[in-house]
Amino acid sequence: MTTNLRSRVRAGDRDAFGELFDDYADRVYQHLCRLLGNWSAAEDATSLTFLEAWRTRERLQPSDGSPLPWLLGIATNVARNSVRSRRRRAAAMSRLPEADREPDFAEDLAGRLDDAERLRAVRTALHALRRQEREVVALCVYAGLDYADAAEALGVPIGTVRSRLSRAKARLRAAVSPAPDEHRPVALAPRREP
């Protein structure tokens, strides 16, 4: 993205903002899918991210760098607000009386597939991470940002990004690694000739 386009976006040029959307909407959507774990929620959050980007476009610095960290920083905040809203809604819904439910056979079928089980384990491990660690994983691993860009998106020092990512990777490895006896071939001792 050229400095000229960044300046046009800052000035409120709708065509320039359209170019910004065309160039980065997919990356923002993918980032939000990973943070929220729901495609539909990520679509809504992507719309909110670009609405907020338009509203706060004057904060876009007129430098030569990519605006992706700026957009992903906005997206991360939108995701935080979305999760908070979902939690509040779930708490409110839990206070309502239970309605009779029909059994959902789709979950039973999905539970039989190995891939679905592994995905569930990874998702569980990701959600077990602290929020700050999940955000760093989403930015550095999934969105492909380097430490400096992730630090800019989160508004924290680079060292903080590195330490959060290191802790997150260690926790994920421990959470999704098979148990010592699981999925490992048994080592047989060589036979000795008498």
SS3 readout for the chain:
CCHHHHHHHHCCCHHHHHHHHHHHHHHHHHHHHHHHCCHHHHHHHHHHHHHHHHHCHHHCCCCCCCCHHHHHHHHHHHHHHHHHHHHHHHHHHHCCCCCCCCCCHHHHHHHCCHHHHHHHHHHHHHHHCCHHHHHHHHHHHHCCCCHHHHHHHHCCCHHHHHHHHHHHHHHHHHHHCCCCCCCCCCCCCCCCCC
- pLDDT, position 112: 60
Residue 194 confidence (pLDDT) above 60: no
Q: What is the mean pLDDT of residues 174-182?
A: 66
Which residue in this structure is represented by tokens 């969105």? 143
| 25 — pLDDT class (breaks 50, 70, 90) | very high
Q: For residue range 72-127, list pLDDT tens digits in order.
A: 999 999 999 988 888 888 888 888 887 767 666 666 555 565 666 777 777 888 88
